[in-house]
C-alpha cells in the first residue's frame, strides 16, 4: 500500500516500515558515523559520503513528514529557526516578503534585524486583513508570503487558502509555519501553500527533549534545492541521535495531539466564565474570532495551545502563574506536560502581546486536574 492510502495514525505508528537492515530489528539504529567508505572502483555504494550532506537517520522522519504533509520531500534541520531562516536565506537580495504581525516572536525579530541587513525587505500586515495583504504586495518583488496559524501567542487564525490565492496571483510562494496545528490538524499544502515549516521541537517530538526543525515542499523546485544547499553547506544539520529521538517521539504524535486538543477544548470551556478570567483565546471556542476559518481549514480539532487574559492586569497574571502547581512556568510548547508562560515578559518592548496574557501549552494530563489547578491559582492569587 502506498502511504497515500494510509491514515496518519498508521503512518506514524508503523513509521512507514523502516527497519534495521543488519538484524531485522523493527526499529532502525542510530548511525553516528560522520563519513562513508568508497568502494574500490571509487564509487560510494550507499550513496552517502559525509554526514553534513546526508545521515541515514534523516530518511525515516523525512519520509514520514512528507507523507503526513502530502508533500514531495521533507528536510530536517537543527532547529525550527534554522528551517525558517533557510526559507528566507534562499531568496535573493531585493526580494520582498509579507508576514502577519502576530507570529513566533524570535522569527519576527530575525526578519526585522538580519533579513533586512541582507537586503530582504519585510512588510508586516495585520493578521486577518486580506486587503492590507494585497496592498502590501510589490509586483515583481514580492517573492514569499509567510503565515503562521494559529499564531503565537494570541492564536488568531489566518485563511491559508485565501493567502495561497494571492500568492499565486502575484507569482510568490506561500510558506506556512504549521508547528502549532501539526499535520494531524491542518495540511497547508492541500490548501495551496508551497512550503510547510515545523519547529519539530514542539509537537512532532513532543517530549521537550529534542531541538529540531523541518521543511516540507509541495514540489521539488529550484527554491528547494537552494534550501537543501543552505542546510548542507551552512551546516544547520540535526545530529543522528536527535533525528532518531525525534522519530521515536513522532510515533505517538497522533494520540498526543488528540489528547492535548480534547484537553484544551474542555479546559477553555471550563474556565471561560470564571470571574477572574477576562478572555480565553482558543480557536476551538465558537465564540472566538478565528473559529469560522479554523473550522474550515483544520481537521475537526484545534490543538493544545491557548492563552488566557487574567482580570487585574500584568501583576494578577504573574501571580496566577506563580500559584499553578501542575503547569510548569517555562517557555516552549507541544510537550506532554502542561506549561504556562507570561509572554509579555519574554517578548519585551514592542510586543503585540497584552500584559495580562498567560500562554498555556496544554499537555496530556487528566484535564480535571488541569482545570482544578487553574481554578485554585486564580482564586488564591
Ligand atoms: C518554537 C517555535 C519556532 C522556533 O523553533 P525552534 O525549534 O525553537 O528553533 C518557530 N515557530 C513556532 C510557531 C514555534 O513555536
Distance (Å) of CA 333 to CA 151, 152, 221, 336? 13, 10, 32, 9
What pTM value is reported for the model? 0.97
Which residue has its alpha carbon closest to ligand 1 atom 4?
Answer: 80
Tell me which of 177, 194, 356, 373 is the catalytic residue.
Answer: 177
Which residue has its alpha carbon closest to ligand 1 atom 8?
Answer: 80
Distance (Å) of CA 123 to CA 92, 141, 160, 191, 214? 16, 12, 18, 23, 24
CATH class label, 253-380: alpha beta
E strands, 285-338, are 305-310, 328-329
- Confirm whether 21 is a catalytic residue: no
Is 152 a pocket residue for ligand 1 (Cβ < 6 Å)?
Answer: yes
DSSP codes of every residue in 115-184: IHHTT-EEEEE-TT-HHHHHHH--TTTEEEEEEESSBTTTTB---HHHHHHHHHHHT-EEEEE-TTTHHH
Higher pLDDT: 21 or 141? It is 141
Which residue has its alpha carbon closest to ligand 1 atom 6?
Answer: 80
Count of alpha carbons within 13 angstroms of residue 3, beta-carbon side: 21
Is 104 a pocket residue for ligand 1 (Cβ < 6 Å)?
Answer: yes
- Confirm whether 58 is a catalytic residue: no
For residue range 184-201, list pLDDT tens digits in order: 999 999 999 999 999 999
Fold match, 3-250 / 253-380: no
Phi-psi bin for 173: left (phi > 0), alpha (psi -120 to 50), beta?
Answer: beta
Is 76 a pocket residue for ligand 1 (Cβ < 6 Å)?
Answer: no
Q: According to the model, what pLDDT value does residue 67 have?
A: 98
Burial class from Cβ neighbours inside 10 Å (0-12, 13-18, 19+) for residue 37 reads: exposed
Grid cell 530489528 — which residue?
A: 25
For residue range 299-349, list pLDDT tens digits in order: 999 999 999 999 999 999 999 999 999 999 999 999 999 999 999 998 888
Q: Given pLDDT bands bounded at 50, 70 and 90, which one contains residue 32?
A: very high
Q: Given pLDDT bands bounded at 50, 70 and 90, which one contains residue 3?
A: confident
Structural fold of domain 3-250: 3.40.640
Q: According to the model, what pLDDT value does residue 1 have?
A: 62
CA atoms 158, 163, 164, 165: torsion sign: positive
Domain extents for the chain?
3-250, 253-380
Q: According to the model, what pLDDT value does residue 81 have?
A: 98
Q: According to the model, what pLDDT value does residue 42 have?
A: 97
Per-residue pLDDT at 243 exceeds 90: yes
Is 210 a pocket residue for ligand 1 (Cβ < 6 Å)?
Answer: no
Is 81 a pocket residue for ligand 1 (Cβ < 6 Å)?
Answer: yes
Burial class from Cβ neighbours inside 10 Å (0-12, 13-18, 19+) for residue 333 reads: buried
- Confirm whether 177 is a catalytic residue: yes
Tell me which of 143, 173, 202, 309 is the catalytic residue.
Answer: 202
Q: Do 75 and 62 touch, CB atoms closer than 8 A?
A: yes
Q: How large is the greatest C-alpha to C-alpha distance in the chain, in angstroms?
A: 76
**What's the CA angle centered on 348, arms 346 and 352, to 5 degrees?**
100
- Confirm whether 104 is a catalytic residue: yes
For residue range 250-306, list pLDDT tens digits in order: 999 999 999 999 999 999 999 999 999 999 999 999 999 899 999 999 999 999 999
Q: How far is the CA of 248 from the centre of ligand 1 (A)?
A: 20
Amino acid at each position: 500500500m502506498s502511504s497515500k492510502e494510509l491514515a496518519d495514525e498508521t503512518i506514524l505508528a508503523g513509521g512507514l516500515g523502516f527497519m534495521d537492515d543488519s538484524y531485522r530489528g523493527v526499529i532502525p539504529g542510530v548511525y553516528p558515523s560522520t563519513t562513508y567508505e568508497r568502494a574500490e572502483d571509487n564509487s560510494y555504494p550507499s550513496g552517502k559520503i559525509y554526514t553534513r550532506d546526508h545521515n541515514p537517520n534523516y530518511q525515516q522522519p523525512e519520509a514520514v513528514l512528507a507523507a503526513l504533509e502530502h508533500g514531495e520531500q521533507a528536510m530536517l534541520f537543527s532547529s525550527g529557526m534554522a528551517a525558517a531562516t533557510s526559507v528566507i536565506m534562499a531568496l535573493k537580495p531585493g526580494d520582498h516578503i509579507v508576514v502577519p504581525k502576530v507570529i513566533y516572536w524570535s522569527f519576527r525579530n530575525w526578519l526585522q534585524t538580519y533579513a533586512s541587513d541582507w537586503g530582504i525587505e519585510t512588510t508586516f500586515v495585520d493578521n486577518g486583513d486580506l486587503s492590507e495583504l494585497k496592498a502590501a504586495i510589490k509586483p515583481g518583488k514580492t517573492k514569499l508570503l509567510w503565515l503562521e496559524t494559529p499564531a503565537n501567542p494570541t492564536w488568531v487564525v489566518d485563511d491559508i487558502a485565501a493567502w495561497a490565492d494571492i500568492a499565486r496571483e502575484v507569482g510568490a510562494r506561500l510558506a506556512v509555519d504549521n508547528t502549532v496545528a501539526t499535520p494531524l490538524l491542518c495540511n497547508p499544502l492541500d490548501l495551496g501553500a508551497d512550503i510547510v515549516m515545523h519547529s519539530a521541537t514542539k509537537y512532532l517530538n513532543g517530549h521537550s527533549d529534542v531541538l529540531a526543525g523541518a521543511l516540507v515542499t509541495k514540489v521539488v523546485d529550484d527554491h528547494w534545492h537552494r534550501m537543501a544547499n543552505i542546510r548542507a553547506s551552512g551546516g544547520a544539520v540535526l545530529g543522528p541521535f536527535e533525528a532518531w529521538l525525534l522519530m521515536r517521539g513522532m510515533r505517538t504524535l497522533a494520540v498526543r495531539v488528540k489528547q492535548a486538543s480534547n484537553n484544551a477544548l474542555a479546559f477553555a470551556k471550563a474556565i471561560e466564565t470564571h470571574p477572574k478570567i477576562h478572555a480565553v483565546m482558543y480557536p476551538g471556542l465558537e465564540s472566538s474570532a478565528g473559529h469560522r476559518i479554523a473550522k474550515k481549514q483544520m481537521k475537526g480539532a484545534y490543538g493544545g495551545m491557548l492563552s488566557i487574559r487574567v482580570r487585574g492586569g500584568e501583576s494578577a497574571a504573574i501571580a496566577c502563574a506563580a500559584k499553578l502547581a501542575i503547569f510548569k512556568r517555562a517557555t516552549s510548547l507541544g510537550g506532554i506536560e502542561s506549561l504556562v508562560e507570561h509572554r509579555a515578559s519574554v517578548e519585551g518592548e514592542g510586543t503585540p502581546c497584552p500584559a495580562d496574557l498567560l500562554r498555556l501549552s496544554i499537555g496530556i494530563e487528566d484535564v480535571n486536574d488541569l482545570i482544578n489547578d487553574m481554578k485554585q491559582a486564580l482564586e488564591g492569587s
